Amino acid sequence: MPELPEVEVVRQSLSKKIKQKKVKKVIVKNRNLRFKIPTNFEKLLINQKIIKVDRFSKYLILHLSNKSYCLIHLGMSGTIHIIHNNKKNFFTNSSFYSSPTLPKKHNHVEIIFSNLRIVYNDPRRFGFFQIIKNLDLLENKISTFGPEPFNLMFDQEYIFSFFRKKEKNIKNFLLDQKFVSGIGNIYANEILFLCKINPFKKAKLLSLEECKKIVIKSREILLDAIKKGGSSIRDFKNVIGKKGNFQKTFKVYERDGLNCKKIKCKGIIQKKNISNRSTFFCNICQK
C-alpha cells in the first residue's frame, strides 16, 4: 500500500505535469471503486484548471479553478500513470510501486488534458475519487485525522498525553490515522527500530524521552524516504526520471532472520504479526 512518502512522490510528479492545465475530458470506465464514482463526476471536472496539486496524509488533493477540490486516495494498489501524446512513454508510473508502465487491465479513470492524460489503475479497487465542493467541507473531512508527522502539533507532549492510560501497543498507534496521519506499516517498523522501542510495548509505558524520539525519527525517516523516492520492491524510474531507492536502506522491514544492522548489536531481526500486519524488530536492541 502506498504510504505518505509514495503519495508525496505522486504529488510531485503530478504537480510538474498537470498544474495550471485545463481538464478537456474525463472517461470513467469503472465507477465501482471503494466508493462509487457519481454520475456527475465527469461534468464536475471538465473545463476545470488544476490550480495546485496538494497532499494531506495519504490523500492527493487537486485544487480546481472553481474553488472545489478533487480528492484521490490510492487505496491498497492504486497507481496514477501519465501518458504523453505523440511521445514514447517508456515509463508512465508517477511513483515507484507496481508496474513502471501502464497495465492493460484495471484502468478505471482517465483525466485528459491537451497534451497528456492521467490514468488511474487499481486492481483491488480500494481507492476512490471524490469531489468536495468547498474549503469548509474539505477541512471538515480531514479534521477527523490526527496531525501529520511534519505538523508542529505532533510533538512529544501531544504523544505523551495521547498515550496516557492507553493499553494498546505502540505499533498499532503509529498505524492509527486518528493519532497520526500518513505513517503506514513499512515506516512504522523502521521508526520503532531507530527509536529502539519494541513494537509490542504498551503506549502508556513510553517515557517522554521515547515520545520525543518518535517525533524526531518519524520526520527523519519520512523525509529520507521522500528524498529517495519512496519504497519499491521493484527498482525502476518513474515518469519524471527519478528512482525509488528507500527500500535499499531498510533496517528491519522484510529482513527477518538477518543480523541487526546496529553496530555491536548481536540481535536477529524477528517477524511477528500485530493486528494482521507484518512486524519486524530486533530481538535485542528494541526494548
pLDDT of res. 236: 40
> Is 281 part of any domain?
no
Q: Which of 196, 243, 271, 277 is catalytic?
A: 277
Distances 12 to 23, 73, 226, 229 between C-alpha atoms, Å: 19, 15, 10, 10
Domain that holds residue 74: 4-142
Do residues 194 and 121 make contact, with C-beta atoms less than 8 angstroms apart? Answer: no
Asked, for residue 73, whether it belongs to a domain, the answer is: yes
Cell reading at 229? 523516492
Which of 83, 116, 142 represents a domain boundary (last residue)?
142
Annotated catalytic residue within 3, 148, 190, 210? 3
> Do residues 219 and 160 both lie within one domain?
yes
Are residues 236 and 162 part of one domain?
yes
Name the amino acid, one letter, at 55: R
Active site residue: 2, 5, 100, 199, which one? 2
Residues 230, 176 share a domain: yes
Residue 1: pLDDT above 80?
A: no
Residues 162 and 78 grouped into a single domain: no
CATH number at residue 86: 3.20.190.10
Q: Indicate if the pLDDT at residue 88 is higher than 90.
A: no
Q: Assign residue 200 the CATH number of its domain.
A: 1.10.8.50
**113-139 pLDDT per residue, tens:** 999 999 999 999 999 999 999 999 999
Does residue 204 lie within any of the structural domains?
Answer: yes
Regarding whether 180 and 88 lie in a shared domain, the answer is no
**Identity at 200, one-letter amino acid code:** F
User: Taking the complete model, does pTM exceed 0.85, yes or no?
Assistant: yes
- Looking at the structure of the chain, the number of domains it has is 2
Reading the block at residue 131, the C-alpha cell is 469531489
Q: Are strands 107-112 and 25-28 parallel, antiparallel or unpaired?
A: antiparallel
Do 128 and 179 share a structural domain? no
Contact residues for 40 (Cβ-Cβ < 8 A; gap 6+): none
* C-alpha to C-alpha distance for 127 and 112, rounded to whole angstroms: 19
User: Of 111, 142, 173, which residue is a domain's last?
Assistant: 142
Catalytic residue from among 11, 17, 58, 228 = 58
Q: Confidence class of residue 235 from pLDDT cuts 50, 70 and 90?
A: very low
Residue 232 has pLDDT above 70, yes or no: no
- Catalytic (active site) residue 2: yes
Contact present, 195 and 165 (Cβ < 8 Å)? no
Task: Tell me: do 109 and 213 sit in the same domain.
Answer: no
Q: Quick one: 60 and 160 in the same domain? A: no
Question: Which of these three, 142, 174, 203, is where a domain ends?
Answer: 142
